[in-house]
Amino acid sequence: MTGREFLELDSPHQRLFLERLKWMETVQKMLNELPKADQNLCNHGSYFLAANSSLCGLAANNFFRNILNIRRASFVSAVPMAVIPFLSTAAVYQVFVHGPLFSGQLNCEVCAVVRGGLVGAVIGALYPVCLAIPLNASLAARYMSSPLPGKENALRYWLTITQPVFRKMSLGVLVQAVTGLYLATKHHGIYVKILQQMNISRDPEELQD
């Protein structure tokens, strides 16, 4: 098969990719014409959600350290609990909300808002709590700060340990969910402004796939 034949076979995918790329370039150009406040919210808004996720990670880490009486390696445990949730939240929001929205793949406002709320609650709050469990369990075992159960009682033990932490973090989950909803709503509003500048209807049925 020659190179030309290969390109011809892949031409539908290439055309779709080029059309999507052209659309994103047009959207970015229109975004640059919006007020600075809209540009900053669009480009950096997800970092606020990610920063809150870091705070949730640090709070969950502190709760588990107190329950397990861990007094050592505070910096070592704090760094991943701040960095990993931040990066994960920013990346997941970009992949599931911001990216599809501004590339024209997500034209449903309700879908975008629901995605934002789920990302905020699950990745921005619940994930840091779950991440803190194995980290602090390994520290407790390493420094023998708290007696750990055998394998037969491990599940019951960790359920007992995590229940008060999840109760304390319930407010953080709610805040992150609301923040994700708000952020997705604002991003969709900015996207609608761009569509209006391009004289395209905001009706999803009339948008190009």
List, for residues 121-178, the tens digit of each pLDDT value. 999 999 999 999 999 999 988 888 878 777 778 888 888 889 999 999 999 999 999 9
28, part of any domain: no
Question: What does the DSSP 8-state code read for residue 71?
Answer: -
6, part of any domain: no
Per residue in 185-201, pLDDT tens? Answer: 999 998 888 888 876 44
24, part of any domain: no
CA distance 200 to 193: 10
3, part of any domain: no
Q: Structurally, how many domains does the chain consist of?
A: 1
Collect all residues with Cβ–Cβ distance below 8 Å to 181 and sequence separation of at least 6: 113, 116, 117, 120
189, part of any domain: yes
- Domain housing 129: 42-206
Q: What are residue 101's phi and psi, to 5 degrees?
A: -65, -50
19, part of any domain: no
Q: Which of 34, 76, 18 is nearest to 192 (CA)?
A: 34
Per residue in 8-51, pLDDT tens? Answer: 445 666 766 677 777 777 777 888 888 888 888 888 989 999 99
Taking the chain, what is the end-to-end CA distance rounded to the nearest angstrom? 32
CA distance 126 to 109: 24
